[in-house]
Chains A and B, each alone.
Chain A
Amino acid sequence: MEVGQMQRQWVDYTKSLFMEKRYLDSQFLQLLQLQDESNPDFVVEVVSLFFDDTEKLLNDLTAALEQQCVDFKRVDAHVHQLKGSSSSIGAERVKNGCVAFRNLCEEQNTDACLRCLQQVKQEYYLVKNKLENLFRLEQQIVAAGGSIPMMELGF
């Protein structure tokens, strides 16, 4: 596939992540705009931090909810963290999942929290998959000598 085609594919894929499914919101665009020649891997770096941090939080949440006596304050604190970081990178559906999750923490409903956790995990793995696809496309473009077609996003 030649560079032009790959670039068009990147644009289409990125747009689809916003438009149809709202995996990402405009905050992700902020990240793209912050990337430049002095820091060409900025987005990958931030997103990688997000992946690591989220996986740890999801594990902590699972452990906290499996306790005999659930400490909802602790659970809420973890969800608050996840809500913050997903919001900062633009992972809209994960963030929305966290908002619902916090409401359930207030109700102190363990079963509902566990179900919500599953949903948040699903949303996370979905967006992770999408972002990894995007980064792969970018690597291919760069390897073929092209650059990321920022302007064509036209948001």
Chain B
Amino acid sequence: MGSGGFSSGSSSMASLMENGDHVPHVLAVDDNIIDRKLIEKLLQKSSCKVTTAENGPRALEFLGLGDHDRLNSLEGNISKVNLIITDYCMPGMTGYDLLKKIKESSVMKEVPVVIMSSENVPTRINKCLEEGAQMFMLKPLKQSDIKRLRCHLVNSRG
């Protein structure tokens, strides 16, 4: 699915939702099985291809940033996902920890990351946005949230 070469931050966000023949690939991370099923369905309904992961380490492995991935192959990863959406409260590696790891990666840092949480804690939200999260969404997620997500991603710049 990956086109030759890779796009810069802003155009990859715009192309996420605008390019007709490109199905956006979203990685959804949540330790709760019901929430994983819900987010998967919400995204699929919005014509996205979805991969789910039940925790941060698995998500990193999928992105090629796991502990065992010494060599980060550039081609493999950048075309893999267009968006990462992760729960904040997860045992072990939190969504915030995961966000930091992604932003530290020279390869994956351009991929927009959205944080979800069932708790509306302003300090938590600010912390995530400051670390580079694109958006913060309150659970439980609804179809209108996914629509808002698409609008926000198309309109935002790098």
- Residues of A that sit less than 8 Å from B by CB: 27, 30-31, 33-34, 36, 39, 42, 45-46, 49-50, 53, 77, 80-81, 83-85, 87-90
B1 lies within 8 A of chain A by Cβ: no
Known: A31-B38, A89-B34. 8 other contacts (CB 8 A): A30-B142, A46-B37, A46-B38, A84-B34, A85-B33, A87-B118, A88-B34, A88-B141
Q: A35 to B42: give the CA distance in the assembly, Å.
A: 10
Partner pick for B34 among A30, A39, A49, CB 8 A cutoff: A49
Residues of A within 8 Å of B32, CB to CB, are 81, 84-85, 88
> Given A27-B142, A80-B89 in contact, is the A85-B42 Cβ separation under 8 Å?
no
Q: In the assembled complex, how far is the CB of residue A119 from the closest CB belonging to chain B, in whole angstroms? A: 20
Residues of A within 8 Å of B141, CB to CB, are 88
Q: A111 to B6: give the CA distance in the assembly, Å.
A: 59
Residues of A within 8 Å of B152, CB to CB, are none
Residues of B within 8 Å of A89, CB to CB, are 34
Residues of A within 8 Å of B42, CB to CB, are 34
A84 contacts B118, C-beta separation under 8 Å: yes
B35 contacts A84, C-beta separation under 8 Å: yes
Residues of A within 8 Å of B143, CB to CB, are 30, 33-34
Residues of A within 8 Å of B31, CB to CB, are 81
Residues of B within 8 Å of A83, CB to CB, are 118
B45 lies within 8 A of chain A by Cβ: yes
A87 contacts B139, C-beta separation under 8 Å: yes
Question: Chain A: interface secondary structure?
Answer: helix
A39 contacts B140, C-beta separation under 8 Å: no
Residues of B within 8 Å of A46, CB to CB, are 34, 37-38, 41
B140 contacts A27, C-beta separation under 8 Å: yes
B5 lies within 8 A of chain A by Cβ: no
Partner pick for A87 among B37, B41, B140, CB 8 A cutoff: B140
B34 contacts A53, C-beta separation under 8 Å: yes
> Given A34-B42, A87-B140 in contact, is the A49-B37 Cβ separation under 8 Å?
yes
Q: From B38, which residue of chain A is reached at the shortest CB distance?
A: A88
Residues of B within 8 Å of A33, CB to CB, are 143
Q: From B32, which residue of chain A is reached at the shortest CB distance?
A: A84
Q: In the assembled complex, how far is the CB of residue B118 from the closest CB belonging to chain A, in whole angstroms? A: 5
B20 lies within 8 A of chain A by Cβ: no
Q: A84 to B35: give the CA distance in the assembly, Å.
A: 8
A39 contacts B35, C-beta separation under 8 Å: no
Residues of A within 8 Å of B45, CB to CB, are 34, 36
B35-79 contact mask (Cβ, 8 Å, vs A): 1 or 0: 101100110010000000000000000000000000000000000
